[in-house]
Structure 1
């Protein structure tokens, strides 16, 4: 079977999606090191897994093929030489200074079956597992866990027929993108598909998938956020334009550079042809740069503008737009539900979305706007500060009919 990438919207019928089922990395979070690992709390793994399995079942029950990153990665490194290169890369990026310790790590990992090896790399490796003492060290890991990986949206992003293999803003997440690199380069179902890279993980400037939204076959939106830089957006846009894709405009949204506005998809998501969920903090006048391409001079054209989100979206999507406020815009409800990703929805078809059930006020409002809401339990998943869109990476969506 040969797989390709095909994502030309946020709302087309979702056919194939990539997830990561939370694993032991969640239980390797330590309270005094939470901020280092970009967490505010420690989810209860047993319940988080049950919630995540339910999320996957909801997707499957709605006709979506669910693939798991950890399985694809294990299948991609079955060849001994590929596995050897993969381990070298993982260990180098884990910043193991000692050659002897690096060798011990590699020998330990190489002795494991591929899937167990991938799971162990994601979970993190304690010093005692390779015979080192932990007694006089506050931090027991020689290879750090990757607890953010269940947010598969960020390490790479599907755009059109290609991907951005992302350069992550925080060093702690940079190793996550190695899995994407090996999956698309070596997995038997992807390696012959010639999937183009719009951006590569070794680039200097950061970009993350939560900031990348595909509005239509002509319009992409990318947030200039705390985690995505202007330089990365321009480079990715230019590469996409020069490849001759159908996209005509990349809208660069300038949003506040703070954890509360971590990514563009934490403040608004597309749920139908003419509807978006939105956090009130992004309303008012926004600075947006519309990037297009001058094919004669082979350079970007940048048109800067300042207007309301509603008018900007209406202009580029060529239709009247309805913004549905998280929590109805109430100062208390909106902020509470936004904290639990009330604006971060996953559309699995036009006007049909998966949300967290704890954001019940926003869900009720969506229902009143004739949006089909499938709400899922999220008591533990939401502790990672990401919603259904964050937890999913579309591989294939059906083309929209306008």
Structure 2
């Protein structure tokens, strides 16, 4: 790590140096039609194809000088100590609400045969009853769940590493997720930052922790500049969480002077702020036409007495961004040019969800042909990756990546 900070992200567009990914695992093979909604999927991805697509995505990043770290590898390296490993297992089973005595015993016996990497992969994938040796329903809790095929639910959304924790400045938010399905994802971040050699002694500030009472997810957290942070009040993020985050950033004297809270529609199509709005250059943004404006944004600044000063602003997105980023003007590039049919189709396939790896240089899904053509016409350099299977989880390149270090923009 030399003299670099373990976490350093003060923009959306600075050259990407280190990123965290999760290669899709066997969790995708534990999605069934009956449980798709519960697991937050609209369809069942093909794991082999999804892995090929994800490997190609990772290779694009590596080819452009990005250090790629994998969540599953960091998690395994964080539980080398036997006591930490045991604590991790106990916490994971408790938060998975595994209560049957026979089930707990069978799972622990199953885990005892696994090395750390195999254990992490298994916890992420979930466990079917058929995988356990000599499993017997011994308690009422075991017997009451006899028709359910899994003894441990899969974490199917993990390849969207943007959401469970997010980097802001030199610190992180370890997020209280909106849904029960995703809350266990943040356990991995808790152990990585507490026990992994790369992070445990680095003094990484935690702006919000996973035990908060209100929810926030990383797809709603966008670092627009060293001074300006944007956070969506969305289907997955509460206004109260934005307020807590603002207070803690200001208390810790980070460089941020303004937090912009975007009040966006509370629907799956507008799940997170980054599904409808991403920054791709100093003055260029991709957007879904549905949030262009006028829209309501709350600007939060630190008052003289330390309290928050909150101002309600009602204006177009273009004007709001230019004002707060201190630019003469900004250019909003509409998903599919704003065509009502093409924009709806490509927005559903994350046409507005780009990962910027350097100013004016982004990774996009190849399938969004109309939007990609427009971006190229605007002078943006594109790295196109296939996303036919990956997009079935309703997330794009930004969703699948958690920057840990970026150069200054």
Q: Same fold (TM over 0.5)?
A: yes
CA distance in 2, matches of 1:287, 1:317: 17
**Could you tell me which residue of structure 2 aligns to residue 216 of structure 1?**
225
- The alignment status of 1:120 with 2:122, answered yes or no, reads yes
CA distance in 2, matches of 1:163, 1:281: 30
Task: Kindly state the Cα deviation for residue 11 of structure 1 after the two structures are TM-superposed.
Answer: 0.2
- The alignment status of 1:39 with 2:48, answered yes or no, reads no
1:217-253 Cα offsets, whole Å, 9 max, x none, are: 0000000000000111110111111100000000000
- TM-score under structure 1 length normalisation: 0.97
2:311 pairs with one of 300, 303, 323: 303
1:78-136 Cα offsets, whole Å, 9 max, x none, are: 10011111111100001012244223322322331000000000000112333147998
**Could you tell me which residue of structure 1 aligns to residue 8 of structure 2?**
6
2:292 pairs with one of 279, 283, 294: 283
1:168-195 Cα offsets, whole Å, 9 max, x none, are: 0001100000000001110011100010
Shift in alpha-carbon separation, 1:291–1:110, aligned structure 2, 3 A:
farther
The correspondence of residues 73-222 of structure 1 with structure 2, limited to 5 A, is 73-130=75-132, 131-132=135-136, 137-222=146-231
Shift in alpha-carbon separation, 1:186–1:333, aligned structure 2, 3 A:
same
2:50 pairs with one of 29, 48, 52: 48
Q: Secondary structure at the match of 2:52?
A: helix
The CA RMSD over aligned residues, in Å, is: 1.4
1:373 pairs with one of 340, 360, 382: 382
Task: Kindly state the Cα deviation for residue 361 of structure 1 after the two structures are TM-superposed.
Answer: 0.7
Q: Secondary structure at the match of 2:11?
A: coil
CA distance in 2, matches of 1:207, 1:152: 14
Q: Which runs of 5 or more structure 1 residues have no equivalent in the other structure? A: none
**Could you tell me which residue of structure 2 aligns to residue 69 of structure 1?**
71
1:16 pairs with one of 8, 15, 18: 18
CA distance in 2, matches of 1:76, 1:115: 10
CA distance in 2, matches of 1:40, 1:17: 27
Q: Secondary structure at the match of 2:203?
A: coil
Between stretches 283-292 and 7-16, larger displacement belongs to 283-292
CA distance in 1, matches of 2:85, 2:112: 8
1:290-338 Cα offsets, whole Å, 9 max, x none, are: 01112x4221111111111111111101111100000010011111100
- TM-score under structure 2 length normalisation: 0.95
Task: Kindly state the Cα deviation for residue 138 of structure 1 after the two structures are TM-superposed.
Answer: 4.1
Q: Which runs of 5 or more structure 2 residues have no equivalent in the other structure? A: none
**Could you tell me which residue of structure 1 aligns to residue 257 of structure 2?**
248
1:312 pairs with one of 320, 344, 348: 320
Task: Kindly state the Cα deviation for residue 255 of structure 1 after the two structures are TM-superposed.
Answer: 0.3
Q: Check whether the contact 2:275–2:353 (CA below 8 A) recurs between aligned residues.
A: yes
**Could you tell me which residue of structure 2 aligns to residue 390 of structure 1?**
399
